[in-house]
Amino acid sequence: MGRRTYYQRAFGLPLAEQIRDSRVLLVGAGGIGCELLKNLTLSGFGDVTVVDLDTIDLSNLNRQFLFRREHIKKSKALIAKESAGKFNPEVKITALHDDIKSLQFDVNWFRGFTVIFNALDNLDARRHVNRMCIAANVPLVESGTTGFEGNVQAIKRGITECYDCTQKETPKTFPVCTIRSTPSQLIHCIVWAKSYLLTELFGVSEAMEALAADTEGDADEIKNLKGEAELLRQVVSHRDSDNFSKEVFTRVFSEDIKRLRDMKDMWKSRAPPTPLPSEFGEQEKLPEDGGDALTQQDQRIWSPWESYVAFDNSIRRLQKRFLDGETVIEFDKDDVDTLDFVVASANLRAHVFGIKPQSKFTIKQMAGNIIPAIATTNAIVAGLCVLEGLKVLRGDIHKAPMVFTNRSADKSLSAERVVRPPNRDCHVCSVARMLLFIYPKTATLGLLVKDVLIRELGYSDFSVMNGSGIIYERDSNFGEEDDEEWEDNLNKTFGQFGLKEMRFITIHDLSEDEPRVDLELAVVTRENFSFSIELQEQVEIPKRPVPPVSAHGMTNGATNGITNDAANGATNGITNGPSNGSANKRKRDLDDDDGENGAPVKRTKDMDLVDDGQNQAPVIRTKGIVLDEPILDDTHNGAIFIDDD
């Protein structure tokens, strides 16, 4: 019996064919991504594209099962394709070692996919993919995990809330996939200093252990990795030297950064790091106390020079402990020697990568809030992603409320009762949208303002914003229609503004009389284009809704795009789950237990009947999950499903 026959029996012929013919984009090949790619290939999806810029690190191997020791420092996307392809050779897998925010991945590119799965580890990239999916009108299945907690959210423009409909807190967990090569936040630098550099210098070297066990990798790659490891080992072997601090500084903040800059593909869409000169520590004379007084100042941010002083001071203290017989030194936020080392190293690395440093007090708090990833949570969430994806393909996204996992034994899996509608004040999904085609060398802001916004779309008072802020404003209430402050911008081309910042342009209507909702223009560049700038098609831009007024004169609903549900925020993509009870739910008495047409319903010990508050037939709650149609047995559409809506 062929593989396709099993798919048809499991899903039913119509859905099995839809799965086979769909084009899927998977963004991220890390903890969730590895599990999800395996699930997609084994579920019969015919065409999967994987995008990930990261490379494989030793710390990934305990949970990212598609990778082995011989894959360290290789592309995650390429190795994931190679490993997952063995599960199902019939699946076409395309691997792209690139940043999903690259300009080549524009709205039209996103439109080429049937459904998109997010398996990312940082907030900024999540928001970008969410915005692109909303603009392209392609369904998105968003997911995230933090320790034992996880969530899966199906998103479709105009039907469900999007990722930005609720406010998200800044993640307190760290994306381990980027700390070694492309840090973008201070927490990445902190983890690098704490879990990598400190361990390599005064602990057990994981890098050397990995290379010693590697006998099957590419010979040239292994030779290169062993050469790098040998250089680091040479530095570590000088722990009894008076110049040890300077040797470490030169290796990790100068030579290693120069090597990283040579990897040109990494810096196509981001600023490259700036190596510090090896003589950086010689620009000033070290303080007489060696920096002891400086390290006591924990409330202010140290300058790069002061961070070097603290770096030198802390390494000398750790050196003494090592030479006194403490052969393995581990980080403890209450250990002042290791804390000073992590603070100084993290701030120096932040300086190299153009990241804002922080005080010793702040870094101490950040270093204590690191939550490890758990492989089981990733696997559960990846499975839920595919189940929600199947609902999307069946056209049942209205039956795909947000699903949560948590540590509770009584309610380890739960789901919201209904799909949340879009937040009408959301700046991403509750706007009008149009495609704007441009030739970047000749298309100017003036052409956009005068030919498109004023002449074609009829705007009078408005502001134009890109990723960097307001670039033009026209307000007749302030006298001159074209404020001199913005006049110079009108002659600038899109290329001069920077295409990265001009990927989306937002038009905000400043009219006092019935202003329209914000208009989002998705910019698509064309090299062979007969016009400098042109709208693909015009759509009706609705009036901005007036918030309802209560009897007390207070408006209900969201303010500034933040709903009450968002007050508790989210961490690393985890949105707070449904409450344990709601006002319109009550347990029914045994005498009230009736099904359709008044027929009694048998209740087991794990089952409660719940009134939906709308005089509808009761639904069944099994172990904390509300199921409207708990068991679906359809011989045409496939095997028995447990439907978690």
And the tokens for 34? 């590895």
Let me know whether 16 and 89 are in one domain: yes
Annotated binding site: 28-33, 52, 60-63, 76, 121-126, 162, 165, 426, 429
Percent of the chain topping pLDDT 90 = 32
The contacts of residue 539 (CB under 8 Å, 6+ apart) are 432, 433, 434
Residues 463 and 520 occupy one common structural domain: yes
Q: Is the pTM higher than 0.95?
A: no
* Contact call for residues 353 and 257 (beta carbons, < 8 A): no
Strands 631-634 and 533-535: unpaired
Q: Is residue 246 part of a domain?
A: yes
Contact 620, 614 (CB under 8 A): no
Give the Cα separation of 352 and 275 in Å (integer).
Answer: 6
Write the CB contacts of 79 (distance below 8 Å, at least 6 apart in sequence).
56, 66, 67, 71
Residue with tokens 């030779």: 223
Same domain? 13 vs 84: yes
Q: What is the arithmetic mean of pLDDT over 282-297?
A: 82
Give yes or no: residues 300 and 201 share one domain.
yes
Nearest in space to 515 (alpha carbons), one of 541, 477, 544: 544
Which residue in the block uniquely carries the two structure tokens 């990778």? Answer: 67
Q: Are residues 82 and 194 in the same domain?
A: no
CATH number for the domain harbouring residue 264: 1.10.10.520
Residue 420 in any domain: the answer is: no
- Of 216-220, 409-413, 512-516, where does the model show the most confidence? 512-516
Which whole number is the average pLDDT over 11-29?
93
User: Residues 105-117: pLDDT tens digits?
Assistant: 988 899 999 999 9
The answer to whether residue 566 sits within a structural domain is no
* Cβ 181 vs Cβ 352: under 8 Å: no
Residue 516 per-residue DSSP state: B
pLDDT tens for each residue of 356-385: 999 998 898 888 665 667 899 999 999 999
Say if residues 574 and 152 touch (Cβ distance below 8 Å): no
Q: Is the pLDDT of residue 21 over 90?
A: yes
Please write the tens of the pLDDT for every residue from 535-554.
877 778 888 877 655 444 44
H-helix or E-strand containing 630?
Answer: none
d(CA 7, CA 572): 34
β-strands 504-509, 533-535 pairing: unpaired
Binding region for Zn(2+): 162, 165, 426, 429
Specify if 179 maps to a domain.
no
Residue 204 within a domain: yes
Find out whether 610 and 399 touch, Cβ atoms under 8 Å: no
CA 102/CA 110 separation, integer angstroms: 12
Tens of pLDDT along 200-220? 888 776 654 544 444 444 343
384: in domain: yes
Of 176-190, 282-296, 390-404, 468-482, the poorest mean pLDDT is in 468-482
Write out the H or E segment, with its range, that includes residue 154. Answer: strand 149-155
Q: Which long-range contacts (CB under 8 A, 24 or more apart) does 333-336 make?
A: 333/364, 333/367, 333/368, 336/295
Residue that is last in its domain, among 349, 367, 385: 367
Structure tokens at 472: 């033009």
What pLDDT band is residue 563 in, cutting at 50, 70 and 90?
A: very low
Task: Locate 142 and state its tokens.
Answer: 């968003």
Q: Quick one: 410 and 445 in the same domain? A: no
Residue 484, pLDDT score = 63
First to last CA, the chain: 33
Contact 133, 116 (CB under 8 A): yes
CATH of the domain at 63: 3.40.50.720
In the block, tokens 């690191």 appear at 370
* Contact (CB, 8 A) for 625 and 618: no
- Considering the domain architecture, whether residues 438 and 362 belong to the same structural domain is answered as no
- pLDDT at residue 512, rounded to an integer: 83
Tell me the CATH number at 445: 3.10.290.20
Residue appearing with tokens 């050397």:
208
Range of the domain at 111: 3-170+373-415
Do 219 and 363 share a structural domain?
yes
Q: Are residues 529 and 455 in the same domain?
A: yes
Residues 358 and 394 in one domain: no
C-alpha span between 587 and 505 (Å, rounded) = 50
Point out the residues that are catalytic.
177
Q: How many structural domains compose the chain?
A: 4
Is residue 181 in a domain? no
Q: What is the pLDDT of residue 94?
A: 96
Residues 217 and 301 in one domain: yes
Give the Cα separation of 238 and 232 in Å (integer): 10
Q: What is the C-alpha separation between 50 and 113, in angstroms, rounded?
A: 12
Q: Is there a single domain that holds both residue 121 and residue 268? A: no
* Annotated binding-site residue numbers for ATP: 28-33, 52, 60-63, 76, 121-126
Tell me whether residue 572 is in a domain. Answer: no
Question: Cα–Cα distances in Å, from 301 out to 183, 187, 306, 484?
Answer: 20, 15, 9, 39
